[in-house]
Each structure stands twice: as C-alpha cells, then as structure tokens.
Structure 1
Amino acid sequence: MRKEAIEIGEKLRERRRLLGIKQPELAFLSGVSSRTIQQVENGRGNPSLETLFQLADPLGLRLELILKEPQKPADQ
C-alpha cells in the first residue's frame, strides 16, 4: 500500500466517524459502493478523482484538504 493512499483513507474515515456516519450511509449519500469506501479507507485500490469528490462532498470536505500532505514542523 502506498503511504499517500493510506493517509487519504484515514482522513476520510476520521471525518466520517467524527460525523457519526456509517459506511452504508456514506454509500447512499455519495453514490459510491460500500465496498469501494472500505477499500479507500483501508488504503487499497486506486480511486478516481471523481470518486474522491463523491466521498468528500457529503462529509463536508474539500478535495484539496484530503489530497494535501500534512505540513512537517520546521526544524528549530
């Protein structure tokens, strides 16, 4: 698994759980299958940008925040 894919999946899962949304509900809201959601959240598969848009929208996330790498603190 690629590190980036895992981080994207973790961001989506964290937001979904924060909102109290279960995977089947997100599947209904986004039009993305529960299986695909599970794969994305676990860092497997290769979701298209369209799929990521579909998942981000009902979670109230902007796609650029999902794709952005976390800032590393500057060395002092």
Structure 2
Amino acid sequence: MDDIAGIAGAVRRTRREAGLTQEDLAHLAGTSERTVRAIETGTGNPSLHAVVAVANVLGLAVTVS
C-alpha cells in the first residue's frame, strides 16, 4: 500500500507543480479525468498503462523493485 500512496502523492504533487488540472493531465495522457483522480487518490483500479501514461506526461519514472 505504501507504493500506491507514494505514486499517488508524486503524481498529485508533480501535476500541481506543473500547473495542470486533472482534466489537462487526462487529456495529455489520453485517459479520463476519473482515471487521473483514481491514480491521485490511490483508489479504484486504474490500468498500469494509464498510470505509466500519466507518469510519462509528468516526467516521472515508474520502476519495479
């Protein structure tokens, strides 16, 4: 669960620092605003593809440990 919270916080923080709304990020990542919200809150079941797309837009790396 710590990984999910870490990803959620990093996405939210980086999106805000970039001056993007959830709607803006969703459009740039080719996903829905609802999916971005799920990623940022660590809820729901967003696909790995969506998480990676959002991370890529923000310049974040998704790594497996």
TM-score relative to the length of structure 1:
0.73
The percentage of counterpart residues that share the same residue type is 37
| CA–CA distance in structure 2, aligned partners of residues 3 and 21 of structure 1 | 25
What is the number of residues matched between the two proteins? 65
SS in 2 for 1:38: helix
Stretches of 4+ aligned residues off by more than 3 angstroms? none
- After superposition, give the CA deviation of every residue in 1:17-65 in whole Å (9 maximum; x if it has no partner): 111111110011001100111111011012222111110111111112x
Unaligned ranges ≥5, structure 2: none
Q: Indicate the RMSD between aligned Cα atoms, in angstroms.
A: 1.6
Unaligned ranges ≥5, structure 1: 69-76
Partner of 1:60: 59
Q: Which has the larger radius of gyration?
A: 1
